Chain A
Amino acid sequence: MPVSLVLEQLLNGLQFGLMLFLLSAGLTLVLGMMDVVNLAQGSLYMLGAYFAATLAAASGSFWAGLAGAVLATALVALLLEVSVLRRVYGADHLTQVLATFALILVFNEAVRAIWGPQALLLSVPPELARPVTILPGLSYSAYRLTVIGAGVVLAVGMFLFIHRTRVGMWVRAGASNRRMAQAMGVPIRRVFTGVFVTGAALSAVAGALLGPIFAVQVGMGEDVLILAFVAIVIGGIGSVKGSLVGSLLVGVVDTAGRAFLPSVFGLLFAPEVASNLGPTVASVLIYLLMAVVLFVRPQGLFPVHG
């Protein structure tokens, strides 16, 4: 197997992991701070992609579509937080899972009613629709490289915000012990609304950026949502660092597994066994990873709660 192919798949994994992180960062903070399971995060990601596709088609510019999608999704998230999520803060996880599961049904059908059942087309901006040579013999999509760059910038920005600012300190305090933080005067409700809306905006960024790579269609949020959950459970609920590590692990392991396991098994087993076993094991690999992590460290890799 050529080295360039391995590098390419690793870059794909990194790119997917970073986008997953944009989703899981919001998810883990919502979970850690308010103990709310929000299955509808995937719907916000889907909305981001749909808004981006529509606005990009209307304005003729991918970047205008991206900016508009972030604003529109943040607005939807604000309405969602005020109308539904506030009512399930104190409730048990079962209630939250079901309330947000209901939101998924509602969002999926609403999107289908508004945009129709066909997948939308969101094309790569023309200035990035070409390969770049990053190493001799290795050329890589300029668009995917931009996505990686955007993911790194947003991740670094988030870390600086959370570890270097006062509001970031409130967020960390809230995630580690909500009641204590509240007693010390942190306006936890307002901080939380901000965190939720920011998380939604980041999901929209991920949806819009991944739109040209995957299809923009109803149900796109669910698959990625489950992967984001796997990522935060591996990383430890409430920890942004954990969600970054978890997301990158999931992205790389999933992409690399799908790309390489079939040929690795080809070396070990008979061809007909390998061609069946490879894809099967590759598709369950991250869930296996999660089960092993939870078995060894039930609180995830970076536990937050003392």
Chain B
Amino acid sequence: MRARDLSVEQARRGGVAPPRAFVVWGAGSVAGLALLAFPALAQALEWSYYLSLATKALILVLAASALNLVLGYGGLVSFGHATYYGLGAYTVAVMVREGIRQAWLVWPAAVAVAALAALAIGAVCLRTRGLYFIMITLAFAQMVYYFVVSFKQYGGQDGLRAPRTDFGFPLGDAEVYYLSLLLVAASLFFLWRLVHARFGRALQAARDNEVRATTVGFPVYRIQLVAFVISGALTGLAGALMAHHTQYVSPAMLSWPQSGHFMFMVILGGVGRFWAGLLGAGAMVLIEELFHSLTVSWQLYVGLTLLAVVLLAPRGLAGLVEGRRR
């Protein structure tokens, strides 16, 4: 059996135990405690800027991890994930604008809108492969972008203010941070279970060898569509969180450079590695922050960094770590 078909074999047998789980969870719980204590620390030291930065990083970790499910594990290069991110955010802003501020209504609605969009778009796009898949996901993203921008009553090109929703108690900056932490942790746990379950193995099998996966009997189209919808829903959740974090939504959240940035994060982290979203989004926020504080032309250096990563370390940060360990 060829090595690359191993995932097919594993999927057929019904999944394998996650490797090094103990080490990962050990390190994770230390990091988790630090993350829990962070707002108190930030308040004591008057680091409100860093609390905001940490919240942003957490949200981007969720978006990048969601994209990694289709991009890394599914091998489906979606160039339109800003769509689900933006739709999640806009759902929050529009519902609040229309006077619905109950969080129990708004949050599920944001996720549902993103999931439905992913279902409709995925159902069409997954009929194509390779380059055409990249282009058609991009085309749908552009469609949604122009569709949203055309609603003048919801801000058009200028975007829309999005006051925070209400759980019965108002959400302050620290509450949004904890909410992000909770939802990101829960989503990562869910994704971890998903990619190590039979479903995740089948998804990877379809990526590595679609013909073989089909022959073995997996409903490849349906599996990929489910993964696409899950990914879209979680990206929509990230968008809803971002709307709460910045209290403002703009068409830029739906734009194709935003999709490119999500892809960049996944690549930076190491496409197809579980922690790619965490490493990539974290590193991206740090890189942007660093260059942002040094120069006004920070995008130039972000671009050069991306170029260097793609050309010199195509396996990303996770790849570098693993390469050293071996």
Contacts and interface: CB of A to CB of B under 8 A. Distances in A.
A236 to B, nearest CB: 10
A283 B143 CA distance: 8
Contact of B299 (A87, A97, A108, A226): A108
Interface in B105-144: 124, 127-128, 130-132, 134-136, 138-140, 142-143
A94 B263 contact: yes
A106 B143 contact: no
B263 A97 contact: yes
Nearest to A95: B310
A95 B303 contact: no
Chain B, interface size: which category?
35 or more
Interface stretch (A71-79, A131-139, A291-299): A291-299
Nearest to A106: B303
A230 B267 contact: no
Contacts, number: 123
A87 B271 contact: no
Contacts of B260: 97-98, 101
Nearest to B301: A109
A94 B304 contact: no
B195 interface: no
Given A95-B310, A97-B134, A98-B260, A109 B147 contact: no
Nearest to B121: A291
B302 interface: yes
A245 B297 CA distance: 39
B159 interface: no
B314 A229 contact: no
B257 A287 contact: no
A94 B138 contact: no
Given A37-B131, A294-B128, A295-B124, A84 B143 contact: no
Contacts of A103: 303, 307
B320 interface: no
B139 to A, nearest CB: 5
A83 to B, nearest CB: 10
A93 B139 CA distance: 17
Contacts of A230: 135, 139
B303 A109 contact: yes
A31 interface: yes
B310 A105 contact: no
A301 interface: no
A149 to B, nearest CB: 31
A268 interface: no
A105 B302 contact: yes
Contacts of A284: 142-143, 146-147
Nearest to A98: B310
Contacts of B71: 94
A98 B297 CA distance: 20
A280 B146 CA distance: 7
A279 interface: yes
A95 B309 CA distance: 10
A291 B121 CA distance: 10
Nearest to B303: A105
B303 A97 contact: no
A69 interface: no
Interface of A: 31, 37, 84, 87-88, 91, 93-95, 97-99, 101-106, 108-110, 112-113, 222, 226, 229-230, 233, 237, 276, 279-280, 283-284, 287-288, 290-291, 294-295, 298-299
5 cross-chain pairs, A with B, having the tightest CB-CB distances, nearest first: A105-B303, A109-B300, A102-B306, A283-B146, A280-B150
